[in-house]
Amino acid sequence: MNSSRLTQAMSSSEGMSQIFSPVNTVQRMLDVEAALAQALAAEGMIPQDAAQTILEICVAANIDLKALARDAGDAGNLAIPLVRQLTAQVTARNAEASRYVHWGATSQDVIDTGMVLQLREALQLIRVELAELADALAALAHRYRHVPMMGRTWMQHALPITFGLKAAGWLDAVLRHQDRINSLGQRIGVLQFGGASGSLASLGDQGLAVAHALASELALELPAVPWHGHRDRMTEVATTLGLLTGTLGKIARDISLQMQTEVTELSEPFTHGRGGSSTMPHKRNPVGCAAVLAASGRVPALVSTMLSAMVQEHERALGGWQAEWDTLPQITELAGAALVQLRKVVEGLQVDESRMRANIDLTRGLVMAEAVSLALGRHVGRAAAHELVEAACAEALRSTATLQEVLQADSRVTQHLNTQTLEQLFDPSHYLGEAIAFTDRVLVVHRQRKV
């Protein structure tokens, strides 16, 4: 067993592992061969009984996967030894039918279209997981829409926001990714069928008719022209999933930072054996976030490989196409794994509202300085108010007093802002701006998609 397979649960999901398993990879290529035989028969180019025999033999269980992997190295791709094994299997059943295996196609047609079929399955899984993640984020945004927490910029306390707003920001990004994945599915769901040089010359004047029939068999769109050397479709899958994984990593980063011992506003769901330490019994590590962040760290370099591989030679590539074979499945599996991991984290996320409030109070009111400065500025002018409040902040830092206490002791402030007014100004729930409105706007968009 390859040692990397031992960590597969961290870098792939069960569904993605099945989609890109050796068996399913071979089966999707065989699906293309079977559909090609059916299309050729439909256009009268091969006998119907030959097509039926090929269809019946096109089952991955009939293929020796070890021999296939061994022979692919010398052949240069998987399709050549696969077609060889398939032809032998068909010959054993019907020697006449074996003449028509792989008729009119080239290796890249089978490999590319097989990959398209796998990506179609993978994108459907991602759609489902994205929808479930969106629902979980919407539940968080709604439940905590009024709950103040500390907004942080440059890793420092900034101004109060709500946890609902933070979750709504996460949700808003996920909704955009839903749009991207949906439109991507339409562009990637296309047939690759061009024969040796992209002209289908081997099928004479019936090339387009067979291509139409083959696309119909596989429920794929027929592109205007074969795309052997033009890899923007495949690379768009990579870049789109790269964007998605980046957003998942951003959310995981936020959650893990809020799980730090000094912060402890959030906690991943805890079960026996999850997030522990081999030596420290007290640990509750953010293992789900770690898996997401590992994926978001690996994917950009893989996306770069796909972008570099786009520069291909003439009608068929030397090296660039081959560089995609392992890279694109890895990107898709990592994105799928990160999505599953984050969805589980968000669904079971534990939120400590009291800790969020305590963290707002850590600076003894300094984070409300802007609110006071603006209110005072209406009476004495912005510059004067800023200078006065800035001096009060410095005094609060030098002493053990809160900013509110320092200001209440200053007659230059209290002649304009009485105790009741200062109490309101230092209440973070009174300085949330449009946080709740912004949250509700995102929730409306999410609800509209559920209708």
| Residues with catalytic roles | 277, 316
Contact present, 82 and 54 (Cβ < 8 Å): no
Residue partners of 230: CB distance under 8 A and separation at least 6: 312
Q: What are phi and psi of 149, to 5 degrees?
A: -150, 170
Separation CA 299–CA 307 (nearest Å): 12
For residue 126, give both structure tokens: 């991602």
Looking only at the bridges linking them, the beta strands covering 148-153 and 266-267 are unpaired
Contact present, 356 and 148 (Cβ < 8 Å): yes
Separation CA 164–CA 145 (nearest Å): 4
Helix (H, G, I), strand (E, B) or coil at 266: strand
Nearest in space to 285 (alpha carbons), one of 324, 314, 256: 256
Rounded to the nearest angstrom, the gap between the alpha carbon of residue 155 and the centroid of all alpha carbons in its chain is: 25
> Which region holds residue 114: left if phi is over 0, alpha if psi is between -120 and 50, else beta?
alpha
Count of residues for the chain? 451
Residue partners of 438: CB distance under 8 A and separation at least 6: 165, 168
For residue 169, give both structure tokens: 């920001």
> Which region holds residue 433: left if phi is over 0, alpha if psi is between -120 and 50, else beta?
left
Nearest in space to 422 (alpha carbons), one of 371, 382, 357, 384: 371
Cα→Cα distances 336→183, 221, 228, 295, 343, Å: 18, 25, 27, 10, 11
Angle at 29 between CA 25 and CA 30, to 5 degrees: 115
Mutual angle of helices 163-188 and 435-450, in 10-degree steps: 30
Given the structure tokens 């209708």, which residue do they identify? 451
Contact present, 97 and 53 (Cβ < 8 Å): yes
Handedness of CA 402, 408, 409, 410 (dihedral sign): positive
